[in-house]
Structures are given as structure tokens and as C-alpha cells.
Structure 1
Amino acid sequence: MTSRDRGVVLVHDGFNAQETWPFECLRCWHVWEVHYVVRTVTDDHGNEVRVWLRSGVPVQPPTSGVCCPGCGAYHATSFPRGYLSRHPELLPAPRPRPVAAVAAPVRRAVPSRAPWPGRLLVAMGAPVLAFVGYELYENLVAVTGPH
């Protein structure tokens, strides 16, 4: 029994390359870089396949759409490779981590519900009340008034 009989395709030698892709979010203008390992292999039929890896895990290629780590939008564009190394002023400055946040766990306050928007209810209710009052008045005057 050969490997073709079992549904397995043999993969010949391949090679790995490291690529860094710079991105910019078109919504919040956040700029970041993503490091990939691109594994290029050739199967038994001569087809070349590129597998994109991040931390050893296969991921979608960067041309398929990237999510912004700042705001979560999928409206990102990429710069040419090496662009950010020539323009480091575009990269955000690394923020130092506060010492107190490392020492003690951070407790987050549970958000409470907002109170009823009284002004909005008055702003919407007053015109509706005026309209209903006018219609009632017109109907009562038309019914009881002289014809």
C-alpha cells in the first residue's frame, strides 16, 4: 500500500522565511507590525504551497484582512515591507507599565445602569402631548361646534 492509496500527499523539502508586515488602521490610525514565518513547501505533484505561521500556529495570510489590535476594526491597510524601519516616527511609543499595577491585582468597578434619560422623555413627550391635545380639541370643537 503506497501513500497515494491512503489519501496522503507527500511533501518534499521546503523552506521557511521570516516576514514582518506593517499595518495601519484606517479607523483609529493605530500603526503596528506583525511578524510571520512563511513556510513554502512543494507537494508530490509540484504545487507550491505557502503556509503563514504566527507563534507556530497556522494563520490566514496578511492579505486576507487583519483586525486592528487598538479598536477591533477590519479596516486596515499594509505598508510596503521595511517602510516602518525607515520611518520609526510612525510607530507608537512603548508605554511603561506602572509598578503598582504589577504588584497588586486590579479590581475593576462594575458599571451601573444609567438613570432614565428624563430630558429625552420630556423632549419627546411634550410634542406628542401637544399634538394629541390639539387633535382632541379639534375633534371636540368640530363635534360640538356650529355646523
Structure 2
Amino acid sequence: MHDGFESRESWPFECLRCLYVWEEDYVVRHLADGHGNEAEIWFASGVPVQPPWSGTSCPACGAFHLTSFPTGYLSRHPELAAAPDPVPLAKLPVVPVRDIEPPVARAPMPRRLLIAVGLPVIAFVGYELYQYVLSPVGHHH
């Protein structure tokens, strides 16, 4: 990649699950290689991230079902962003879960598949051997 420039973008979001509204700032590095190929690399706080339309989650509840607003929308509507920052998910208290049965231990898929296919084959072969041994001489299949 030869040519390039950076731009700063602020994306306002609203969580469609908990209705939390926030804004995230990005630096977008635009690159071109001189052959008509272009690429964008998105950064948040100096770390490469997915573009805002792919993989952003709500900082309040962790949901991925979000909507975004046009750039500058929150500065024109400050009443929407008046909510305090949420408690980070890592800081939420751990509530012990009781009365939940442990998951039933299941055989791994390949073993279950072998049993499902193998038992009918064994039954068929066993039946054929049984017929062969008990049938009168000269009347074999």
C-alpha cells in the first residue's frame, strides 16, 4: 500500500435492547496501492477494530442489536446522551446461580454417530450369520 490518509469519525449508537445511547470515536486509515485497490483500517483507542457496522456491542448490556445515528446527531440532541456511563460488564456483581441441574453428559458426536450406524450393521451381519449357520446345506444365499 502506497498512498494513504487518516480521518477521524464519531459514531453515535443506541442499543435496541436496553436503549443506552453512546458515541464511539474512530480513526480510519485509508490506503491505496496505485493499482486501484483500496483498503480501510479502523482503530479505536489506537487498537485495530472491526468497522462500526460490524461487531460493535453495547457497553451497558453487551447486546449486538444496535442502531447508529448520523455523525454529529448527539451534539445536536444532547438530551439523548445525558445518561451516565454504564457499569462495565466486568464490574457487575456475580450473582450465584442455584437450583440449576448440571448439564447431561453426552457422548461426543463421532461416537454417537458410530453407535447409530454401527448397531444396525452389527444386527444385519448377525442375522445373516445366524441364517447361514442354521439354514440347511445347499440352501445358502
Interval containing the TM-score (normalised by the shorter chain): 0.5 to 0.7
- Tell me the secondary structure at the aligned position of residue 2 of structure 2: strand
Match of residue 8 from structure 2? 18
Unaligned runs of 5+ in 2: 86-90, 100-141
Which of these residues, 23, 30, 38, is aligned with residue 48 of structure 1?
A: 38
Aligned residue pair count: 95
Match of residue 7 from structure 1? none
Structure 1 residues 113 and 83: alpha-carbon distance in aligned structure 2, compared to 1, 3 A threshold: same
Identity %: 65
Give the Å deviation of 1:94: 3.5
Unaligned runs of 5+ in 1: 1-10, 96-105, 115-147
Give the Å deviation of 1:112: 7.1
- The one-letter code sitting in structure 2 at the alignment partner of 1:14 is G
More helix by share: 1
What's the TM-score once normalised by structure 2's chain length?
0.59
What's the TM-score once normalised by structure 1's chain length?
0.56
Paired with 1:72 and 1:112, the residues of 2 have a C-alpha distance of 20
Give the Å deviation of 1:70: 0.8
Match of residue 142 from structure 1? none
